[in-house]
């Protein structure tokens, strides 16, 4: 039901967020959609640059009627568990339901007699920074378990458990702001990320059935990056990587990597069929994975038109564009959606939605990508535009046709965003959304201009004494708006 032809923003009530919702303004946090019992599903928000280490679970009715019911939420304090460290810039990936049930078996069943039903959902967390100032990167693997009980006396119970996993094999480089993509419901592919010494591109695979790291060799690697996104294009047997940035932090160093790459996974299907082969992906040429560039840097001087054209250009690094690959012709403001710490979701077998991102300046823009033709799409966006941001979370509710966006960092105000929005991917159905109370009179935020995107740079924060009186006034107004929860 999801389409990129027409989408609409629905702003969630600021009053509800300020007074009731437990997750306050934050950045670098995680979200993950979990399947629940009896037609319900949950969305988990946790972590980030915050002293709140609780787990917030948003529960909604599953299916097309999700818009017509109130979404509840619970803040859980993890119990019966190891103590996870403060972390930001980590990844959180849903584990397959069958694997969750197999891992759980009869654990926690004797907490109280009279259990009628138990539902278990699990997600795996990798990496992140444990110290301030982009320091203390880790390569630890943790599993978050959300348990729901239904008892004979009609009472309910829900709790969260963190468990540190002991993995086998050679552990990969510690990092944060990487990508983690699950393929074949078994292999978690880790790509890129940030360390204290810079950004890397190192690829690693974790077998989540055996918790073993698998050796992997790749050819034609891109330069190191963080804050990128990767989707599994199952129909074409490849991973597609969008954008990202370089450097050792999110605002003061490096540049945005406004490119699109594909990683051909040679031998992955044979490896999946034969677990004995999964010890190494580099034993022979059949299992060597290969990078190739689909789109050059979309901020190159020639890319300023409003159309997406075909071409046959050869980039300076020898990669070729053309044939089935459309030449990228994005404006500077559109290219920010490929910038560091954007959000990307595969909303259908052939369509990806990219939004926000770009660090300095941040954007509230949106782009689509057609995997079948390797071409960019421009959605028709309605509703009030949210605050520009990057390093927030966005979760795709597939059956329901919504995306829930929370938090992030806004470079203009210099702070985390207290702002939650719902993107309706099927507004033509004219559904009346009641999951959260909405701000019917919310004013739309300004979109980022091409000039601002063209002039943006990573470096020291602007000095107020070097600003004009009008610039200082506008910055003060932005800070006031931030404090009011925009």
The reported pTM is: 0.84
**What percentage of the chain reaches a pLDDT higher than 90?**
49
Among 394, 346, 91, which residue's Cα sits nearest to residue 231? 346
**What percentage of the chain reaches a pLDDT higher than 70?**
73
Answer whether residue 128 shows pLDDT above 50: yes
pLDDT at 9: 97
Would you place residue 432 in the very low, low, confident or very high pLDDT band (cuts 50, 70, 90)? confident
- The rounded Cα 439 to chain-centroid distance in angstroms is 25
Calculate mean pLDDT across residues 457-466: 49
Would you place residue 467 in the very low, low, confident or very high pLDDT band (cuts 50, 70, 90)? very low
Least confident range from 12-16, 67-71, 178-182, 310-314: namely 310-314
Distance CA 212, CA 390 (A): 33
pLDDT at 463: 41
Distance CA 159, CA 170 (A): 33
Would you place residue 102 in the very low, low, confident or very high pLDDT band (cuts 50, 70, 90)? low
Distance CA 16, CA 18 (A): 6
Answer whether residue 208 shows pLDDT above 70: yes
Answer whether residue 466 shows pLDDT above 60: no
Distance CA 117, CA 407 (A): 34
Calculate mean pLDDT across residues 258-266: 92
Calculate mean pLDDT across residues 105-123: 63
Answer whether residue 68 shows pLDDT above 70: no
pLDDT at 299: 59
Distance CA 85, CA 219 (A): 35
* HSE-up of residue 148 (Cα within 13 Å, Cβ side): 18
**Tens digit of pLDDT for each residue in 283-341?**
444 457 999 999 987 654 433 333 333 233 333 333 333 333 334 589 999 999 999 99
Distance CA 190, CA 180 (A): 5
The mean of the pLDDT values for the chain is 80
**Tens digit of pLDDT for each residue in 22-60?**
888 899 999 999 876 555 678 999 999 887 878 999 887
Would you place residue 400 in the very low, low, confident or very high pLDDT band (cuts 50, 70, 90)? confident
**Element of type H or E holding 333:** helix 332-335
**Tens digit of pLDDT for each residue in 163-186?**
999 999 999 999 999 999 999 999
Q: DSSP of 189-244, one letter per residue?
A: EEEEEEETTEEEEEEEEEETTTTEEEB--EESPPPP-BS-EEEEEGGGTEEEEE--
pLDDT at 310: 29
**Element of type H or E holding 98:** helix 97-104
């Amino acid at each position: 039901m999801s389409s990129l032809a027409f989408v609409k923003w629905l702003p969630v009530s600021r009053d509800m967020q300020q007074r009731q919702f437990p997750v306050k303004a934050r950045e670098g946090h995680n979200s993950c959609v979990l399947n629940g019992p009896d037609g319900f599903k949950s969305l988990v928000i946790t972590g980030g640059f915050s002293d709140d280490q609780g787990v917030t679970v948003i529960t909604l009715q599953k299916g097309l009627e999700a818009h017509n019911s109130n979404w509840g939420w619970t803040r859980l304090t993890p119990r019966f568990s190891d103590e996870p460290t403060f972390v930001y810039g980590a990844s959180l990936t849903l584990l397959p339901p069958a694997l969750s049930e197999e891992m759980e078996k009869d654990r926690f069943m004797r907490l109280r007699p009279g259990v009628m039903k138990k539902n278990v959902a699990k997600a795996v967390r990798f990496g992140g920074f444990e110290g301030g100032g982009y320091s203390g990167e880790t390569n630890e693997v943790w599993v978050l378990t959300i348990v729901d009980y239904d008892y004979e006396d009609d009472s309910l119970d829900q709790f969260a458990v963190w468990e540190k996993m002991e993995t086998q094999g050679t552990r990969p480089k510690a990092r944060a702001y990487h990508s983690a993509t699950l393929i074949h419901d078994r292999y978690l592919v880790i790509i890129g990320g940030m360390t204290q010494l810079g950004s890397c591109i190192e690829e690693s695979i974790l077998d989540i059935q055996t918790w073993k790291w698998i050796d992997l060799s790749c050819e034609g690697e891109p330069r190191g990056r963080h804050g990128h996104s990767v989707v599994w294009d199952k129909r074409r047997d490849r991973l597609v990587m969008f954008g990202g940035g370089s450097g050792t932090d999110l605002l003061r160093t490096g540049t945005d990597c406004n490119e699109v790459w594909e990683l051909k996974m040679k031998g992955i299907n044979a490896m999946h069929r034969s677990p004995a082969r999964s010890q190494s992906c580099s034993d022979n040429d059949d299992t060597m994975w290969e990078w190739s560039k689909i789109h050059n840097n979309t901020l190159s001087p020639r890319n300023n038109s409003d159309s997406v054209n075909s071409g046959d250009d050869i980039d300076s690094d020898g990669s070729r564009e053309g044939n089935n690959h459309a030449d990228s012709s994005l404006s500077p403001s559109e290219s920010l959606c490929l910038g560091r710490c954007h959000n990307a979701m595969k909303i259908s077998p052939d369509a990806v939605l990219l939004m926000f991102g770009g660090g300095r300046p941040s954007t509230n823009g949106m782009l689509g990508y057609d995997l079948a033709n390797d071409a960019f799409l421009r959605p028709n966006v309605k509703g009030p535009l949210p605050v520009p941001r990057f390093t927030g979370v966005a979760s795709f509710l597939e059956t329901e046709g919504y995306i829930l966006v929370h938090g992030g960092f806004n470079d203009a105000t210099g702070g985390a965003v207290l702002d939650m929005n719902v993107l309706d991917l099927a507004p033509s159905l004219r559904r009346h959304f009641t999951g959260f109370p909405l701000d019917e009179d919310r004013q739309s935020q300004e979109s980022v201009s091409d000039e601002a995107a063209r002039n943006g740079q990573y470096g020291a924060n602007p000095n107020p004494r070097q600003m004009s009186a009008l610039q200082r006034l506008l910055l003060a107004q932005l800070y006031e708006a931030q404090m009011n929860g925009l």
